[in-house]
């Protein structure tokens, strides 16, 4: 599967590359310009957005951590003041209730004691504006308190045991109790109200004997914390949560989770250590970055939820501005690139149109060269090419004219062959008059050979005509060499009507007489065999002469395959081979096979043309003209 996937990817890349390569030059230049302009801008925009977003997050985290830590320090200072206030009854010299220790140790309750307690607790309750109530409990079951507006706690008897246990646990040191809901008034009554407060309790001991005298408790409303948190939430545009060491929420911006366990409501509740970013969380459908800050005094922990959208708002603005700028710049670049590419490719389009005109046959077109750049050089060479083509066309036209003139001159001089024929006929008649039949026969055969070879050189003839010409040629040679040569043929009657160009067999037979039979005694046999194949007609001219050595045979076949006959080289094998190729095509022609001492076979390949369907041998068929 992986191999198939890789092959598919390579195929897709190949198709994409072909699509790009098939685009016009103008489209390619536009793509390159837009790509070179937009890619750097988009890369810079993306990197800038990421870096600015990360920097904004770090700066915002540091800033929020610093604000949270300052608020916790203020809270610690406030709690420290409460701690100090809880110790003030032990040091009452020169202050209201200076006999507070003696009164607390006295088991009796009198008017003086009550007045002293009320006056002193009133004094303590006024020191801090957010303290709502001050409670003092002695060892004799007496309770003394001062409340600013809410009255006595309706659950005082319930919380007393909790406070006492905490005070005893502190053993004279102040103990901070987390936020709890404080009910006031009779439970279930219409006047019953509640508020949230945290409490500081301390066990009161005699300074001299260190004997426990009772304990004191300060109820403090969370309004102070609420003000600080509200200020921070306005700055961060987020929410805040303050939790104690046991995981209970001291304060929450929504005021819905105060007093509840932090688990399931604030992530990172187990975080300890230094202030900083602890991660992101989705809350109420919004994503927040959570910043943590611990209190060194109380052990309370503050979690600040800052909306990620607020942190990255400036980065998003910069990103959007960059994207809009990129679109505008790319649009402008596209316009400029279109203008530039149109200007650059216009000369190429002009050359393309001129080439089409030349293709149609117009050679009077020229490209106007204005500049010496690459386009100008191309246009100059285009003009040179057209000039050269025009020159070659003129040369061909001149050559054709000269050819026509030569043909006309040949027609005008046809009297010369007739003069030769008439002269030979006079010689033959003179020889017969003198009873010299051999000279007469030789002259008669020679005249027939000349008439066949000279008259209408380009005319098409039948195989039967060619064989007759070969027989006349051999008759003349046998008169000369005393019947030394024999001709054998194996050709069907229907192939005797096959039309071909003149002088195909006779030059091959002549070549055999002068080379194959040079040192061979009589009789010398030449066999001509002809058969029709699906690809055409195959003629074999074989002799039983001396044959050829491999080197000479290889050299001859190479010349037949790739060398043209030179002017004036005669009508040998090379000439016959070239005439066949020029007339019928390069797939036709001669090939030679031979063995030393076993003779030679010349194979002639011609196209399959039914002689009966050909026109007259005066060359009117365009295929053979």
**Axis-axis angle for helices 415-433, 437-454 (nearest 10):** 170
The CA–CA distances, whole Å, from 490 to 19, 471, 495 equal: 62, 14, 10
- Residues 6 or more apart whose CB falls under 8 angstroms from that of 288 comprise 238, 239, 280, 281, 282, 305, 306, 307, 308
Mean pLDDT of 404-411: 57
What are the tens digits of pLDDT across the range 584-605? Answer: 888 899 999 998 888 899 999 9
Distance of alpha carbon 96 from alpha carbon 92, whole angstroms: 7
Distance of alpha carbon 146 from alpha carbon 153, whole angstroms: 11
Tokens representing residue 545 in the block: 């002469």
Asked if residue 415 has pLDDT above 80, the reply is no
Average pLDDT of the chain to the nearest whole number: 77
Got the DSSP string for 227-244?
A: HHHHHHHHHHTSEEEEE-
So what's the pLDDT on residue 605? 94
CB-CB contact of 500 with 463 (8 Å)? yes
So what's the pLDDT on residue 356? 86
So what's the pLDDT on residue 622? 29
Asked if residue 566 has pLDDT above 60, the reply is no
Distance of alpha carbon 377 from alpha carbon 371, whole angstroms: 8
Alpha-carbon dihedral angle through residues 441, 444, 449, 454, given to the nearest 10 degrees? 160
So what's the pLDDT on residue 623? 30
What are the tens digits of pLDDT across the range 244-258? Answer: 877 788 888 777 778
Helix (H) or strand (E) holding 65: helix 25-87
Going by their DSSP bridges, the two strands 524-533 and 485-491 should be labelled as parallel
Is residue 409 very low, low, confident or very high in pLDDT (cuts 50, 70, 90)?
low
Tokens representing residue 333 in the block: 């670049």
Distance of alpha carbon 216 from alpha carbon 397, whole angstroms: 131
So what's the pLDDT on residue 420? 62
Is residue 304 very low, low, confident or very high in pLDDT (cuts 50, 70, 90)?
confident
CB-CB contact of 220 with 82 (8 Å)? yes
Going along the chain from its start, the domains and CATH numbers come out as: 61-311 (3.30.450.20), 456-624 (3.30.565.10)
**Most confident by average pLDDT, 25-34, 316-325, 333-342, 542-551:** 542-551
């Amino acid at each position: 599967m992986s191999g198939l996937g890789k092959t598919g990817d390579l195929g897709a890349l190949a198709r994409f590359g072909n699509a790009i390569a098939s685009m016009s030059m103008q489209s390619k230049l536009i793509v390159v310009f837009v790509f070179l302009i937009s890619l750097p801008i988009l890369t810079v925009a993306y990197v800038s957005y990421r870096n600015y977003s990360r920097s904004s997050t770090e700066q915002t985290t540091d800033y929020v951590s610093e604000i949270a830590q300052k608020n916790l320090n203020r809270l610690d200072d406030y709690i420290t003041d409460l701690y100090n206030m809880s110790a003030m009854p032990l040091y009452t010299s020169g202050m209201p209730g200076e006999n507070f220790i003696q009164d607390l140790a006295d088991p009796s309750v009198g008017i003086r004691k009550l007045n002293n307690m009320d006056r002193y607790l009133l004094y303590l309750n006024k020191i801090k504006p957010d303290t709502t109530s001050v409670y003092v409990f002695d060892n004799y079951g007496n309770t003394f308190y001062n409340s600013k507006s809410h009255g006595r706690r309706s659950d005082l008897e319930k919380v007393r045991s909790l406070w006492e246990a905490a005070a005893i646990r502190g053993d004279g040191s102040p103990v901070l109790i987390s936020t709890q809901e404080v009910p006031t008034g009779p439970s279930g009554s219409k006047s019953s109200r509640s508020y949230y407060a945290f409490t500081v309790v301390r066990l009161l001991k005699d300074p001299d004997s260190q004997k426990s005298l009772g304990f004191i408790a300060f109820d403090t409303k969370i309004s102070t914390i609420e003000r600080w948190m509200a200020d921070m939430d306005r700055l961060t545009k987020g929410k805040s949560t303050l939790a104690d060491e046991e995981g209970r929420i001291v304060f929450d911006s929504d005021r819905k989770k105060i007093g509840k366990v932090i688990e399931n409501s604030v992530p990172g509740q187990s975080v300890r250590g230094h202030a900083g970013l602890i991660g992101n969380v989705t809350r109420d459908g919004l994503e927040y970055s959570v910043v943590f800050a611990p209190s060194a005094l109380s052990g309370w922990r503050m979690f600040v939820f800052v909306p990620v959208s607020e942190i990255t708002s400036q980065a998003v603005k910069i990103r959007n501005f960059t994207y809009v700028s990129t679109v505008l710049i790319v649009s402008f670049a596209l316009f400029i690139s279109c203008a530039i590419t149109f200007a650059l490719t216009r000369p190429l389009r002009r050359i393309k149109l001129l080439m089409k005109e030349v293709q149609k046959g117009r050679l009077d077109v020229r490209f106007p060269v204005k500049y010496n750049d690459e386009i100008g050089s191309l246009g100059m060479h285009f003009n040179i090419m057209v000039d050269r083509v025009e020159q070659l066309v003129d040369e061909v036209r001149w050559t054709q004219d000269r050819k026509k003139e030569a043909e006309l001159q040949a027609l005008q001089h046809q009297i010369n062959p007739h003069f030769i024929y008439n002269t030979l006929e006079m010689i033959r008649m003179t020889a017969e008059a003198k009873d010299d039949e051999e000279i007469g026969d030789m002259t008669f055969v020679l005249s027939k050979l000349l008439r066949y070879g000279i008259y209408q050189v380009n005319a098409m003839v039948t195989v039967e005509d060619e064989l007759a010409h070969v027989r006349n040629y051999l008759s003349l040679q046998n008169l000369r060499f005393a019947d030394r040569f024999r001709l054998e043929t194996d050709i069907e009657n229907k192939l005797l009507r096959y039309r071909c160009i003149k002088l195909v067999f006779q030059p091959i037979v002549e070549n055999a007489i002068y080379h194959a039979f040079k040192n061979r005694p009589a009789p010398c046999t030449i066999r001509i065999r002809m058969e029709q194949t699906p690809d055409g007609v195959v003629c074999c001219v074989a002799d039983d002469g001396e044959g050829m050595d491999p080197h000479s045979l290889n050299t001859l076949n190479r010349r037949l395959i790739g060398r043209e006959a030179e002017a004036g080289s005669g009508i040998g094998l090379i000439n016959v081979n070239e005439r066949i190729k020029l007339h019928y095509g390069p797939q036709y022609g001669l090939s030679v096979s031979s063995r030393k001492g076993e003779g030679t076979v010349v194979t002639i390949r011609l196209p399959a043309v039914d002689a009966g369907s050909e026109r007259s041998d005066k060359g009117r068929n365009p295929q053979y003209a």
